[in-house]
């Protein structure tokens, strides 16, 4: 069979080009550490690898979101810790104000100190988030949450809670609204509140009380009015009124008063101690929501009352007891929010662990789909290199054959 020179050169060039292409492809696989260089190499695996790569990128973005959430929640937790410490300090000052050995000038000093604590509390509530906004203003991040008022402070934010997507199926709050932390504080014992009338002239003190029958308790407002006879010795009785109705309705009347004896009605129980004067009144109403700033402001006003005489001391003690109940509720509320923040931070740790496991899984899947068997690739590269060199040498030899070399 005769092979023309042109055919020899064409076939040899084509084979060498094919070998060089295979060698170059193997070299590219080694340099990129990828088995698939184009989608045409394996369309199914390439499509699947694209899906896994996108999932891996989303998982990485969730990890970034979790880091941002941790930073924000850590700042909130620290701020709430400071708030709790400050409220404990205020409670201590309130207890000190009830010391019988203190005179009016001493209580005035406490009131002045509490004004500083109130300013500190307002400053904490207006804590900035470090990115041009405020922690506790809800969605209105650029609006200062609280402004000072004569009765405490007014909330300027909204009830929104900013959230961030931290996993495929989970959003976590980055903070809490200032209203939920500093304003939505139940008064009294958290269910109902007992208070002495502002015009009382006796020396009676009323306790916070508790609910003893949940089924009998409702939102009715009650009033207690004392009557002291002119007999010798005087007889003290009290009547209970339903003040929710207009006019007020009598619940019971002519009840004999015994200091410290439990008084029960409407599913509630409490006691009154001391000596009430004729016409003294007390109210028993369902708890309301009150701002902690109002509570501290009222406490300051209470400390500045003229706590002299039996009536003055009773008014001071009743006012301080009310303030202590409300401060305790405020502190409990802060602790509840702080506990929720801690739970969210712990959940982020769990989600981080899950995200790390997912990342490992995605990496393993991608390696199965597009990863390169390096040992095999190196072996193939060496074999292809030797084959190419052999082809080049044989072509050189064949192209050098000619009859003119023997003439």
Domain extents for the chain? Answer: 34-187+288-371, 201-284
d(CA 116, CA 325): 21
What number does CATH give the domain 34-187+288-371? 1.20.1330.10
Phi, psi of 289 (to 5 degrees): -90, 130
Residue 299 makes CB contacts below 8 A (sequence gap 6+) with 90, 94, 97, 114, 319, 320, 323, 327
Provide the pLDDT for residue 111.
94
Mind listing the pLDDT tens digit for each residue in 268-285? 999 999 999 999 999 999
pLDDT at residue 388 in the model: 67
Are 69 and 172 spatial neighbours (Cβ–Cβ below 8 Å)? yes
Nearest to 307 by CA among 90, 105, 116, 151: 105
Task: Please check whether residue 327 is in contact with residue 87, taking contact to mean a CB–CB distance below 8 angstroms.
Answer: yes
CB 259 within 8 A of CB 205: no
CA–CA separation, 332 and 292 (whole Å): 12
The rounded distance, in Å, linking the Cα atoms of 16 and 183 is 83
The verdict on whether omega for the bond into residue 220 sits within 30 degrees of 0, i.e. cis, is no
Length of the chain: 407
Q: Identify the pLDDT of residue 63.
A: 93
CA–CA gap between residue 344 and residue 392 (Å, rounded): 68
Going by C-alpha positions, the residue among 278, 266, 219 that lies closest to residue 240 is 266
Low-confidence ranges of the chain (pLDDT < 70): 1-5, 7-9, 11-12, 19, 21-23, 25-26, 29-42, 45-46, 367, 369-375, 377, 380-381, 384, 388, 391-392, 395-407
In whole angstroms, give the CA distance from residue 173 to residue 124: 19
Cβ atoms 141, 126 nearer than 8 A: no
Among 79, 66, 64, 65, smallest CA distance to 135 is for 79
pLDDT of residue 144: 93
Helices (H) and strands (E) in the chain, counts: 7, 15
Residue 143 has φ and ψ, to the nearest 5°, of: -100, 130
pTM for the whole structure: 0.80
Tokens of residue 387, six digits: 């084959």
User: Residue 197 in contact with residue 282, Cβ under 8 Å?
Assistant: yes
pLDDT number for residue 379: 75
The pLDDT value given to residue 256? 93
User: Is the four-CA dihedral 296, 301, 303, 304 of positive or negative sign?
Assistant: positive
Helix, strand, coil percent content, the chain, rounded in steps of 5 = 55, 20, 30
Task: Give me the sign of the Cα torsion angle 301, 289, 265, 242.
Answer: positive
Whole-number Å distance between alpha carbons of 226 and 314: 15
């Amino acid at each position: 069979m005769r092979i023309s020179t042109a055919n020899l050169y064409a076939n040899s060039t084509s084979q060498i080009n094919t070998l060089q292409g295979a060698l170059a492809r193997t070299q590219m696989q080694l340099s990129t550490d990828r088995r698939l260089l184009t989608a045409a190499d394996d369309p199914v695996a390439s499509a699947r690898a694209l899906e896994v790569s996108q999932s891996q990128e989303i998982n990485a973005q969730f990890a970034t979101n979790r880091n941002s959430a941790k930073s924000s929640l850590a700042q909130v937790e620290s701020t709430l810790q400071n708030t709790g410490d400050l409220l404990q300090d205020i409670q201590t000052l309130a207890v000190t104000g009830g010391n019988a050995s203190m005179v009016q000038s001493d209580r005035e000093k406490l009131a002045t100190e509490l004004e500083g604590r109130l300013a500190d509390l307002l400053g904490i509530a207006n804590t900035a988030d470090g990115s041009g906004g405020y922690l506790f203003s809800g969605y209105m991040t650029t609006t200062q949450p609280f402004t000072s008022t004569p009765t405490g402070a007014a909330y300027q934010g909204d009830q929104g809670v900013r959230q961030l997507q931290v996993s495929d199926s989970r959003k976590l709050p980055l903070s809490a609204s200032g209203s939920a932390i500093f304003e939505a504080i139940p008064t009294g014992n958290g269910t109902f509140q007992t208070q002495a009338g502002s015009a009382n002239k006796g020396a009676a003190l009323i306790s916070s009380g508790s609910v003893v029958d949940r089924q009998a308790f409702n939102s009715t407002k009650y009033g207690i009015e004392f009557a002291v006879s002119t007999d010798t010795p005087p007889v003290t009785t009290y009547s209970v009124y339903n003040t929710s109705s207009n006019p007020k309705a009598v619940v019971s009347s002519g009840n004999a008063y015994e200091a410290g004896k439990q008084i029960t009605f409407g599913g509630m129980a409490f006691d009154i101690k001391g000596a009430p004067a004729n016409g003294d009144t007390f109210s028993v109403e369902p708890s309301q929501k009150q701002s902690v700033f109002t509570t501290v402001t009222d406490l300051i006003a209470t400390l500045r009352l003229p706590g002299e005489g039996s009536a003055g001391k009773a008014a001071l003690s009743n006012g301080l007891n009310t303030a202590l109940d409300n401060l305790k509720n405020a502190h409990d509320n802060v602790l509840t929010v702080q506990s929720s923040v801690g739970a969210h931070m712990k959940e982020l740790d769990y989600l981080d662990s899950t995200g790390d496991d997912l990342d490992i899984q995605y990496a393993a899947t991608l390696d199965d789909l597009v990863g390169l068997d390096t040992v095999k690739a190196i072996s193939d590269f060496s074999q292809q290199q030797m084959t190419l060199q052999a082809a080049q040498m044989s072509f050189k030899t064949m192209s050098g054959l000619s009859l003119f070399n023997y003439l």
